[in-house]
Amino acid sequence: MSQSVPGIYMFGDSLVDVGNNNRLPISLLKASFPHNGIDYPTGKATGRFSNGKNAADFLAEKVGLPTGPPYLSLLSIGRKLGKAPVTGVSFASGGAGILNETNKLFKQTISLTQQVEYYSLVRDQLVQQLGSTQARAHFTKSLFMIVIGSNDLFAYFKKDSKISKQYTPKQYVDRMAATLDQLMKRLYGLGARKFVVTGVGMTGCCPAFRKQNPGNECNTHSNHWATKYNDGLKILLRKLKLESSDINYSYFDIYAAMSDLIKNPQTYGIREIKEACCGLGKLKADIPCTPVSTYCSNRSDYLFWDLYHPTEIVSKTFADLLYSGSIQVAHPLNVAQLVRL
């Protein structure tokens, strides 16, 4: 067990969901069936939107901790919180967004605001269990990882989006950053001091967007606003640090990492950057990965597992970069440096 990192508290969307959506009765976004999980140690679907493990699993492995269980798995039949492990909990939920309206797209998901509320309940329990002094030390050294924002952009740039009629793209990405700022300040007030925050990747290059363009090219408009949001996020993080000097953070520039992978796939051992491994139709992106979909046998050759999500091998690559990558992709610190503080 890593003493330098006593726990990981995971907030975010389907990139790091480890099974919360399985427990949402009417959610339209689930990965609780084959062919998901085909390369997971059990060979079974776990609610991860992946052929195997995702970034949450790999980061936990890096610091010597078990993957935090899904928060909803800790609830009793009466929806009371059972005993949470001191090594961390995952609140991440497929389809979740920073903005509350994003969460209405998929009928049922755990919004980031709600994820922070759930964390406050876990925190209260640990304060009772450990005592306030020990609990404060625990939270100060724990990692608070936030992987979110893609669904907000998908909601804005999807065909027939109502949201795009209400806000200009700039107003929208500014709202995303301002909302995240408030939620991070709330986490700070609840004891968080070490943040691991990822930007948004090249949303316009996922198979779901590529298939709509001639030549299966990326959606440059969506990518442009992903970079604008990321710029706002970097400013927000610097300001938080200025306002509260005891905050330390690692920002992972997943956009830069993904861009390099798409430009130089052979460096990463990847051969297919456009088509999904699991799905049906054009670029296998007409339907998600479901039991009726076909899937590739050479999964480690693919960037995308399904129409939105990376394969296990790519999640591992990104987790490696986040943990020990250069300042080009992880700044001002990588996670290895962050945990030593």
Active site residue 221: no
Q: Would residue 301 show up in a list of annotated catalytic residues for this protein?
A: no
Active-site residue 14, yes or no?
Answer: yes
Architecture of domain 8-255+324-340: 3-Layer(aba) Sandwich (3.40)
CA-to-CA distance for 154 and 204, rounded, in angstroms? 9
Q: Residue 293 has which token pair?
A: 């979909």
| Catalytic pick among 13, 14, 17, 111 | 14
Domain ranges of the chain: 8-255+324-340
Residues paired with residue 310 on neighbouring β-strands, in sequence order: 304
Catalytic residue among 111, 138, 253, 309: 309
pLDDT in 10s for each residue of the chain, 341 residues: 346 899 999 999 999 999 999 999 988 899 999 999 999 999 999 999 999 999 999 999 999 999 999 999 999 877 889 999 999 999 999 999 999 999 888 789 999 999 999 999 999 999 999 999 999 999 999 999 999 999 999 999 888 889 999 999 999 999 999 999 999 999 999 999 999 999 999 999 999 999 999 999 999 999 999 999 999 999 999 999 999 999 999 999 999 999 999 999 999 999 999 999 999 999 999 999 999 999 999 999 999 999 999 999 999 999 999 999 999 999 999 999 999 99
The pLDDT value given to residue 3: 63
Adjacent-strand bridge partners of 294: 279
